[in-house]
């Protein structure tokens, strides 16, 4: 084991040297830090809340692991809709800027404190990070780090934690999904939507209703039982097929969809809100969109829930991890999910790979709801020449857009790497 660890350490140091890093003595800090050290790293920096032009790639001081932490040489980072809301400052208690966005990544363990057990230098891992994920190097507590299966790529690993843990927790921990039940999921073509569809397929006779932009239907039609256009009257479409409605509603939209979702619940059904993407319309934070979405939310009457035998719940994975200290619970869920992956029952869907320098274009694709599955920032990918003209360096006016969901099937799109 020691020989193997030493060999991995040597390979890691060679990789750092090749990338232009400088080696540091292993005996520094009284021997408590076991790896090489370099001065700076590339990172995506959000200089202030607002539009896409608040993002840039710049040099930052490389972090070093504190007690109980691992240092990871990042290979890939996940890009989620919550990152877009963070950029706009459209979240509760946003951190101070400048900051490095991102909450999940994959890579190679480069250093670790002596207190860290269960990992070795050179291990391939994926991790949750409380911000700072969009960089060449991250440090995060060991409880948020998980080993990658041998046949899982770094891009797949970066697409795995947020989407599949969110989907699993909502379906099995909150809503208690069982055989023969039915589920309605919005944004069925997104990363969480596709994870929900795959996990539902592991339970016999589960019916999945999904809404998605029309141009995605051909690509995802086999992943759900019934698929509706996101602009259609999906309440009537669902009731036409299932007069009693559904057992579980998974809502990442909020606004008027809250009332619609509650109206579709069967007795003993569960509605779960896990996002509020309807609040995002223009490039910057819009008070009008926020107020409109808030006003449209169904005002919940507990007496009515009691009379109709319905359950309403919320789910925030990031709060569960970083504010409510449930890392141990998530570790157990990750173990179950990795068993499903190793059994070939689930697999992350990667939409496209982007260089760090292409983060604005990647974020625009999420804003347009153009992705099927997960967008990944590939740290080692060079920007494509096609991205030389920064079409997303737009104004910060943040005008309202009627067709902000990207439903125009004829809309020209840049080529993406699958």
> What does 287-309 look like in DSSP terms, one character per residue?
HHHHHHHHHHS----HHHHHHHT
Question: Where are the chain's structural domains?
Answer: 164-340
What is the predicted pLDDT for the residue at 38? 52
- What whole-number percentage of the chain has pLDDT above 90? 68
What is the predicted pLDDT for the residue at 389? 44
Summarize pLDDT for 287-329 with one digit per residue, the tens. Answer: 444 444 444 456 778 888 899 999 999 999 999 999 999 999 9
**Gap between the Cα atoms of 263 and 65, Å rounded:** 49
User: Coil, strand or helix: which one is 335?
Assistant: helix
CATH of domain 164-340: 3.40.50.720
**Using alpha carbons only, what angle is made at residue 395 by residues 392 and 401, rounded to the nearest 5 degrees?**
80
**Which residues of the chain are modeled with pLDDT < 70?**
1-38, 276-298, 386-418
pTM: 0.82
> Which residues have a Cβ under 8 Å from the Cβ of 186 and sit 6 or more positions away?
193, 210, 211, 230, 250, 251, 252, 253, 257
Q: Exposed, middle or buried by CB within 10 Å (0-12, 13-18, 19+), for 358?
A: buried
Terminal CA-CA length for the chain: 37
């Amino acid at each position: 084991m020691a020989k193997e660890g030493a060999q991995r350490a040597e390979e890691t140091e060679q990789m750092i040297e090749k990338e232009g890093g400088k080696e540091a003595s292993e005996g520094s800090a009284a021997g408590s830090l076991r790896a090489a050290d370099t001065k700076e790293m590339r990172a995506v920096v959000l200089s202030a809340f607002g539009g896409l032009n608040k993002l840039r790639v710049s040099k930052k001081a490389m972090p070093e692991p504190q007690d109980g932490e691992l240092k990871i040489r990042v290979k890939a980072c996940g890009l989620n809709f919550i990152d877009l809301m963070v950029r706009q400052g459209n979240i509760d208690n946003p951190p101070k800027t400048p900051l490095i966005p991102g909450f999940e990544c994959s890579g190679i363990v480069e250093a670790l404190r002596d207190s860290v057990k269960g990992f070795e230098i050179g291990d391939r891992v994926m991790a949750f990070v409380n911000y700072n994920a969009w960089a060449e190097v991250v440090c995060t507590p060991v409880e948020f780090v998980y080993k990658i299966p041998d046949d899982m790529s770094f891009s797949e690993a970066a697409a795995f934690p947020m989407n599949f843990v969110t989907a699993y927790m909502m379906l099995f921990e909150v809503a208690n999904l069982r055989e023969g039940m039915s589920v309605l999921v919005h944004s069925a073509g997104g990363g969480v939507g596709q994870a929900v569809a795959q996990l539902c397929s592991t339970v016999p006779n589960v019916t999945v209703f999904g809404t998605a932009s029309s141009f995605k239907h051909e690509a995802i039609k086999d992943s759900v039982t019934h698929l509706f256009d996101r602009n259609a009257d999906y309440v009537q479409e669902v009731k036409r097929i299932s007069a009693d409605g559904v057992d579980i509603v998974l809502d990442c939209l909020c606004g008027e969809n809250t009332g619609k979702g509650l109206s579709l619940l069967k007795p003993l059904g569960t509605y779960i809100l896990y996002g509020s993407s309807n609040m995002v319309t223009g490039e910057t934070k819009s008070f009008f969109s926020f107020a409109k979405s808030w006003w449209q939310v169904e005002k919940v009457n507990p007496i009515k829930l009691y009379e109709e035998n319905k359950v309403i719940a919320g789910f925030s994975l990031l709060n569960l991890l970083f504010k409510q200290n449930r890392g141990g619970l998530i570790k157990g869920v990750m173990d179950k999910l990795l068993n499903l992956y190793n059994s070939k029952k689930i697999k992350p869907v990667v939409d496209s790979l982007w260089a760090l320098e292409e983060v604005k274009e990647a974020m625009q694709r999420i804003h347009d709801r153009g992705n099927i599955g997960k967008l990944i920032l590939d740290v080692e990918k060079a920007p494509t020449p096609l991205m030389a003209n920064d079409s997303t360096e737009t104004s910060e006016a943040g005008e309202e857009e009627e067709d902000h969901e990207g439903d125009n099937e004829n809309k020209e799109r840049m080529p993406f790497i699958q």
